[in-house]
């Protein structure tokens, strides 16, 4: 019956355990040891000479076609090439401005609905822009080219002291890190601040500010350590890539321009 079977099973487990322990002990006492003396590897290039398996190809094809259709979906029109200028001499660029402004426009209403507060500004990173945006159709694939990463938007409540560190970083780096249009920053060539306004008001080092950025930067990416240890962190679970897709769905024609949000005093 079942009870007798279970008792026999328990006895078998006991002897099996003893056997494993004995084998392990004898192995540990053995004077001979096996050592790896050589590793041999060969490269197998994946080329057209490798024959395809029909069943694998038949399995993959529907997924490939679905992805291709999805990526070619047109979201909006771009009237002019937006180039990520490789010389990085400008303090702001059309492509960076558009990305920061799009993030503000999509995320701020959601944040305000949750908290009753507005985001003060958005800051992203220049290195996060991975492609130009050519003139013509803006597709889902275009957005993946620009933002291939899985970075999410976070909203941080920061002290004025930390925003001062952010300001110092911008002056030191002199790179066109994307800043939303709520920022009005003018500096001299030698790095002195002429004015720094946020939402039309002079920066106050004793105030607190609500800043949207990416989780990558929040964790110190691109040496933006001022985002760490913020007073409060609000997760959105909203990927930057999806923010851009939703923004393009909202508009017909992209209007992106270089402006004076961060510039040198003339």
* Residue 40 pLDDT: 79
Tell me how far apart the alpha carbons of residues 27 and 70 are, in angstroms, rounded to a whole number. 58
pLDDT of residue 24: 54
Note the pLDDT of residue 96.
Answer: 97
The per-residue pLDDT for 198 is 98
At residue 42, the pLDDT reads 81
Report the pLDDT value the prediction gives residue 32, as an integer from 0 to 100.
56
HSE at residue 205, side-chain half, CA atoms within 13 A, is: 6
Distance (Å, whole) CA 164 – CA 149: 28
Confidence (pLDDT) at 28: 54
Q: Is the dihedral of CA 243, 154, 99, 180 positive or negative?
A: positive
Backbone angles phi, psi at 56, to 5 degrees: -70, -45
User: In a structure prediction context, what are the per-residue pLDDT tens digits for the chain, which is 266 residues long?
Assistant: 444 444 444 444 444 444 444 555 455 555 556 777 788 788 777 776 666 677 777 777 777 766 778 899 999 999 999 998 766 678 999 999 999 999 999 999 999 999 999 999 999 999 999 999 999 999 999 999 999 999 999 999 999 999 999 999 999 999 999 999 999 999 999 999 999 999 999 999 999 999 999 999 999 999 999 999 999 999 999 999 999 999 999 999 999 999 999 999 97
Residue 251 structure tokens: 């508009």
Provide the pLDDT for residue 2. 43
pLDDT confidence of residue 3: 45
Decide: 169 and 225 in contact? Cβ < 8 Å: no
Amino acid 86: pLDDT: 67
């Amino acid at each position: 019956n079942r009870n007798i079977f279970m008792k026999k099973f328990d006895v078998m487990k006991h002897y099996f355990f003893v056997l494993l322990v004995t084998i392990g002990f004898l192995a540990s006492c053995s004077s001979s040891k096996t050592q790896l003396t050589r590793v041999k590897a060969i490269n197998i290039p994946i080329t057209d000479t490798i024959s395809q398996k029909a069943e694998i190809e038949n399995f993959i094809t529907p997924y490939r076609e679905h992805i291709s259709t999805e990526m070619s979906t047109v979201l909006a029109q771009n009237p002019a090439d937006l180039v990520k200028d490789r010389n990085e001499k400008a303090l702001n660029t059309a492509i960076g401005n558009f990305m920061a402004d799009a993030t503000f426009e999509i995320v701020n209403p959601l944040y305000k609905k949750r908290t009753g507060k507005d985001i003060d500004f958005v800051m992203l990173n220049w290195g996060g822009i991975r492609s130009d945006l050519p003139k013509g159709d803006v597709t889902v694939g275009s957005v993946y080219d620009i933002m291939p990463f899985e970075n999410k938007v976070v909203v941080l409540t920061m002290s004025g002291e930390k925003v001062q560190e952010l300001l110092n970083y911008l002056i030191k780096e002199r790179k066109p890190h994307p800043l939303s249009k709520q920022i009005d920053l003018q500096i001299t060539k030698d790095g002195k601040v002429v004015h720094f306004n946020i939402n039309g008001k002079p920066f106050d080092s004793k105030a607190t500010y609500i800043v949207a950025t990416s989780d990558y930067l929040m964790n110190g990416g691109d040496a933006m350590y001022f985002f760490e240890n913020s007073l409060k962190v609000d997760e959105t679970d909203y990927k930057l890539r999806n923010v851009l897709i939703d923004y393009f769905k909202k508009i017909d024609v992209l209007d992106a321009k270089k402006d004076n949000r961060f510039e040198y005093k003339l």
